[in-house]
Amino acid sequence: MGWASEYIAQLGEGQIVCFRPHGGSMFPLIESGQLCTVAPVRPEALSPGDIVLCRVNGSEYLHLVKAVRDGQYQIGNNKGRVNGWVPGAAIFGRLTKVEP
């Protein structure tokens, strides 16, 4: 179970979730500890630049969609790192709001 497993389950039930992720990989888009609101999303509605709650190679991230290709989504942080490509089923929600 990862840090976001509870939120992923709630998103799967159609709920909107709020949490405070920690780390600096998404700065300055998201600062460590800011309140983030994430809503369920259909993967086909995503485009590069969206911030999503996803699972890549077993790890859970609130990271950017960097590219979209043939139903696959490239996920990475805001510092230039790419985590990898995932299918739409590995994306659970899209960031809708960031608050202090």
Please, which pLDDT band fits residue 84 given cuts at 50, 70 and 90?
A: very high
- pLDDT value at residue 1: 80
Copy the structure tokens of residue 25.
Answer: 């990989």
Task: Give the mean pLDDT of 41-52.
Answer: 97
Q: Could you tell me the fold of the domain covering 5-99?
A: Umud Fragment, subunit A (2.10.109)
Q: What is the pLDDT of residue 92?
A: 98
| Residues 48-70, mean pLDDT to the nearest whole number | 97
The residue type of 75 is I
Residue-level pLDDT at 74: 98
Which residue in 14, 3, 16, 99 sits closest to 55, CA to CA?
3
Which H or E element spans position 42? none
Task: Give the pair of three-digit tokens for residue 18.
Answer: 């709020």
Assign residue 30 a region: left if phi > 0, alpha if psi is -120 to 50, beta otherwise? beta
pTM over 0.85: yes
